[in-house]
Amino acid sequence: MAQSAQTVKKRKIKGDGVWGYAFIAVALIVYALFTAYPVFSAFLISFQEYKPLGSTYIGFDNYTATFKDDLFWKSIKNTLVYTVLTVPVALLLSFLVAIMILPLRKKLQTVFKAVYYLPVVASGVALSLVWLWIFDPMPGGIFNQFIGWFGAHNQNWLGSSATAMFSLVIMAWLSSHGASIIIYLAALLGIDDSYYEAADLDGASFLQKLWHIVLPSLKPTTLFLLVTAVIGSFQVFQNAYLMTGGGPDHATTMVGLLIFDNAFKYFEFGKAAAQSLILALIIALVSLFQFKFLGKDVDY
């Protein structure tokens, strides 16, 4: 689909301008009302102490208060820790699985793709309920039983600030690599065989081919997956909210959860809006940084 799109000449039909506007009208209205206006509105609200009946303009107070707020910095730190622990492992696991699926017969490939994609399809709320029980602090809890086989003592996984973040990380390691596995596999299948043929003539080993052909060819895909995974991880909210509520002792308060709490628990809409804009800026900077330093020799 996308491949042939590149080759087709970009010719457009002339003289149907009105139809063009008619066809995008609904999309534009929805966009203007439910995306563009809210973004604009977030800017305004971030400078206000929001009240349903007449807000007061308070300048940069929401921003300065945020920068002085220890909890805000802690939530940024938690989000960073979570991202650094989960994203690289998720990418590596997806890559390894895709590489292993590659030599199998077509039928078997499809079976494994489906198997690994299945958890993506399940509802996140349902899965977090399941994980709550897996991490049950009683000695009978599944995870405690599991580590018991290795002689470890049972822990209060989600209830202790020493292990709560780690528990969320384990959960991320073992769920939902389905999409990136499939994307990696598609990219692997897209590598031209002539590279391997040339390498074989030179007597290259499997590892040499992996290092000199596969890794460079997959760089754009890796960059794409990395950037989207980091963006997703910075916005993480649901798991922390449903599993730990940010506790214990704010050990798992991610910045997305902090913004949610400020908005819908304490009804500090102005503060939440300011923090969400800071988050947007951080995400933009981190993405830019990744493109700049990792995307150097990637051409699109």
Partner 1 sequence: MSLYNNHTGSRAGKTARNTVIVVLLLLFALATLFPIYFMVISSFGDPVEAGAVSYSLWPGKFTLESYSFFFNYSEYSYRWILNSTIVAGAVTVTNVFFATMAGYAFSKLRFKGRGVLFSILLAAMMIPYQVTQVPLYILIVNTFHIENTFSALILPGLVTVYNIFLAKQFMSSIPTEIMESAKVEGCSQFQIFFRIILPLSKTVMAVIAILTFMDSWNTFFWPFLVTNTMDMQTIQVGLKNFRFANTTYFSPMMAGATISAVPMFILFFSLQKYFLEGVTVGAVKG
Q: For residues 16-35, which are near partner 1 according to CB under 8 A?
A: 16-21, 23-24, 26-28, 30-31, 33-35
CB of 54 to partner 1, least distance (A): 12
- Considering the complex, state which of residue 115 and residue 152 has its C-beta at the smaller distance from partner 1: 115
* CA nearest to 74, candidates 172, 161, 169, 171: 161
Helix ranges (DSSP H) in 58-177: 61-68, 70-101, 106-121, 124-134, 142-149, 164-173
Cβ neighbours of residue 210 under 8 Å, at least 6 residues apart?
99
**Interaction with partner 1 in 61-80: which residues (CB under 8 A)?**
none
How many residues in the shown chain lie near partner 1 by CB under 8 A?
123
Asked if the peptide bond before residue 103 counts as cis, ω within 30 degrees of 0, the response is no
* CA nearest to 48, candidates 259, 262, 270, 277: 270
Among 84, 92, 130, 152, binds partner 1 (CB under 8 A): 130
Among 69, 124, 159, 250, binds partner 1 (CB under 8 A): 124
CB of 59 to partner 1, least distance (A): 19
Rounded CA gap, 221 and 42, in Å? 33
Considering the rule CB under 8 A, would residue 207 count as an interface residue with partner 1? no
Tokens at 39, concatenated = 């973004």
Stretch that binds partner 1, among 60-68, 73-81, 107-115, 147-155 (CB under 8 A): 107-115
CB of 69 to partner 1, least distance (A): 16
CB of 269 to partner 1, least distance (A): 5
CB of 164 to partner 1, least distance (A): 18
**Interaction with partner 1 in 80-99: which residues (CB under 8 A)?**
93, 97, 99
Tokens at 12, concatenated = 């457009």
Contact code string over 134-173 relative to partner 1, x by CB under 8 A: x-x---xxx--x----------------------------
For residues 99 and 188, is the Cβ–Cβ distance under 8 A?
yes
CB of 47 to partner 1, least distance (A): 13
For residues 77 and 86, is the Cβ–Cβ distance under 8 A?
no
Considering the rule CB under 8 A, would residue 235 count as an interface residue with partner 1? yes
CA distances from 242 to 125, 127, 237 (A): 8, 10, 9
CB of 250 to partner 1, least distance (A): 18
From its phi and psi, is residue 196 left (phi > 0), alpha (psi between -120 and 50) or beta? alpha
